[in-house]
Amino acid sequence: MTTSSFHPPVRTLMGPGPSDVNPRVLAAMSRPTIGHLDPVFVDMMDEMKALLQYAFQTKNELTLPVSAPGSAGMEMCFVNLVQPGDTVIVCINGVFGMRMKENVERCGATAVVVEDTWGHPVDPQKLEDALKAHPEANTVAFVHAETSTGACSDAKTLTEIAHRHDCLVIVDSVTGLGGVELRVDDWGIDAIYSGSQKCLSCTPGLSPVSFNDAAVARIKAREHKVQSWFLDLTLVMGYWGSGTKRAYHHTAPINALYALHESLVILQEEGLENSWARHRAHHEALRAGLESLGLELIVPRDHRLPQLNAVRVPDGIDEAAVRKMLLDDFSLEIGAGLGPLAGKVWRIGLMGYGANRRNVLLCLSALESAMAAQGADIRSGGAVAAAMAVYGA
Ligand SMILES: *Cc1c(COP(=O)(O)O)cnc(C)c1O
């Protein structure tokens, strides 16, 4: 038997990521592969840096895409900024905060956990209290956009509090970047990581990161070598720093970087603020449709991420059967719950290219059918009508 080429089905991706990829991004990816030290490629990477600085709203020199997924961007932040013996305050209000704690401990540091209920943002007062109780802490880590619940934390306020206590902050904005307001310089964020496959609507596998001068100073003053060779920024800086001759560090994922470049060009064409507003507008339409189906979002209104909608599964509905019907009959993917929310919520993503009217209406009509198939008492067509009313149609 010979194995033939792999042809995936065409899906609509409305889960927690990857999101629908813009066809322009896929087209960019199929352009000719060139060498990663080719001057033309180096020029493209300089543009990439400027595009990433725009997306993050930063002038940080050390702004680059890590050649690996968001989890590697996370690890890069921790292994470079945290040393054995340090104390790090880690705010946990979902899955991704738990991973931060794991990173801190693997760096040989102590994690002091500030816990909030899943579905709620990080409470600034609790952070303040933890910092008062732990004057030895030198770092605060939190998730801006918690993809496991759809809660948005106040990154600006949390950063201010951390700085008042002389801590650097590490921020996870894998799902935030491009979807909600994020201003790295204005808010004073010291180190941040994101991902290509959420609101940037690029293919998965790259992690934009950015570090300010305070973060770079801490890295340069390290007493212990960074335990990861691949993620050691002192080596990567030789490749990325301004005025450096680009020496070989690792082979960049050339075509994937064409894709990220294209997705950032698309973001720049639209304008960041417009992108944030578009995510919000489609979220409002989706929310109206969900409410008309009797469904509720688990996050309080003021703290909702427009790009990640965690919906409580009503009693009597088989959540996995609904997702299966969406996938089989509508070729539509939505996400399941994680951790304590497993089996209790659906996670509906409206990310990047996927934050559009067609996706909102498809998702609502598909959910309506799937819930009706399970005997839910639903007025046919009501959800789409409710969303259309928000669109002013
Ligand atoms: C998706 C995600 C990550 C991990 O990104 P990968 O690309 O899957 O490694 C980290 N943090 C948050 C908040 C995420 O949503």
**What pTM does this model have?**
0.97
Distance CA 125, CA 123 (A): 5
Do 183 and 310 have their domain in common?
no
Same domain, 82 and 213: yes
Q: 248-281: per-residue pLDDT in tens?
A: 889 999 999 999 999 999 999 999 999 999 999 9
Cβ(143) – ligand 1 distance below 6 Å: yes
Residue where one domain finishes, among candidates 207, 241, 268: 268
- 369 falls within a domain: yes
Residue 322: the pLDDT is 97
Q: Specify the range with the lowest mean pLDDT, choosing from 20-24, 106-110, 235-239, 274-278.
A: 235-239
What mean pLDDT do residues 93-99 have?
Answer: 97
Same domain, 28 and 172: yes
Domain stop point among 268, 301, 325: 268
Domain tally, the chain: 2
Q: What are phi and psi of 178, to 5 degrees?
A: 90, -15
pLDDT single digits (tens) 191-230 = 999 999 999 999 999 999 999 999 999 999 999 999 999 9
How many angstroms separate the alpha carbon of residue 103 from the centre of ligand 1?
A: 14
Indicate if ligand 1 lies below 6 Å from the C-beta of 17: yes
Output the pLDDT for position 206.
98
Please report which confidence band the pLDDT of residue 247 belongs to, taking 50, 70 and 90 as the band edges: confident
Q: Is the CB of 263 under 6 A from ligand 1?
A: no
pLDDT at 245 over 90: no
Q: What pLDDT is recorded for position 191? A: 98
Is 69 near ligand 1, meaning CB less than 6 Å away? yes
pLDDT of residue 389 exceeding 80, the answer is yes
Q: 28 in a domain, yes or no?
A: yes
Closest listed residue to residue 152, CA positions, set 112, 110, 114, 182: 182
Ligand 1 near 171 CB (within 6 A): no
**CA–CA separation, 123 and 117 (whole Å):** 10
Question: Atom 6 in ligand 1: which residue has the minimum CA distance?
Answer: 70
Give 186: exposed, middle or buried? Use CB within 10 Å, 0-12, 13-18, 19+.
exposed
Q: Do 147 and 230 lie in a common domain?
A: yes
pLDDT for position 248: 82
The ligand 1 atom at the shortest distance from the C-alpha of residue 308 is: 15
Are residues 303 and 342 both part of a single domain? Answer: yes
Ligand 1 atom closest to residue 195's alpha carbon, by position in its atom list: 7
For residue 334, give its domain range: 272-391
H helix runs in the chain, sequence order: 23-29, 39-56, 70-81, 95-106, 124-133, 155-164, 184-187, 213-220, 233-240, 254-270, 272-292, 319-330, 357-373, 382-391
Residue 96 Cβ < 6 Å to ligand 1: yes
347 is in an annotated binding site: yes
Phi-psi region of 57 (alpha: psi -120 to 50; beta: other; left: phi over 0): left
| pLDDT-based confidence at residue 377 (cuts at 50, 70, 90) | confident
Residues 139, 86: Cα–Cα separation, whole Å:
8
Boundary of a domain, candidates 235, 268, 301: 268
Q: What are 41-77's pLDDT values in tens digits? A: 999 999 999 999 999 999 999 999 999 999 999 999 9
CATH number of the domain residue 245 falls in: 3.40.640.10
Are residues 78 and 142 in contact, defined by beta-carbon separation less than 8 angstroms?
A: no
Residue 64 in tokens = 């680059």
Quickly state the pLDDT bin for 246 (edges 50, 70, 90): confident
The CA 60 to ligand 1 mean position distance, Å, reads 22
Q: 287 and 155 share a domain?
A: no
Residue 289 banded pLDDT, cuts 50, 70, 90: very high
Grade residue 296 by pLDDT with cuts at 50, 70 and 90.
very high
pLDDT (tens digit, 9 = 90+) per residue, 163-181? 999 999 999 999 999 999 9
The pLDDT assigned to 119 comes to 97
Q: Mean pLDDT, the chain, as a whole number?
A: 96
Closest approach atom of ligand 1 to CA 205: 7
| Residue of 93, 147, 209 to mutate, ligand 1, most atoms within 8 A of C-beta | 147
Residues 234 and 109 both lie in one domain: yes
Q: Answer yes or no: is 215 within a domain.
A: yes
Rounded distance between C-alpha atoms, residue 363 and residue 256, angstroms = 29
Would 18 be classed as within a structural domain? no
Give the distance, in angstroms, between the CA of residue 20 and the centroid of all CA atoms in the same chain: 14
One domain, residues 263 and 276: no
Pair 255, 318 in one domain:
no
Can you say whether the dihedral through the CA atoms of 238, 242, 246, 250 is positive or negative? positive
Q: What is the pLDDT of residue 244?
A: 61
Stretch (H or E) spanning 114: strand 110-115
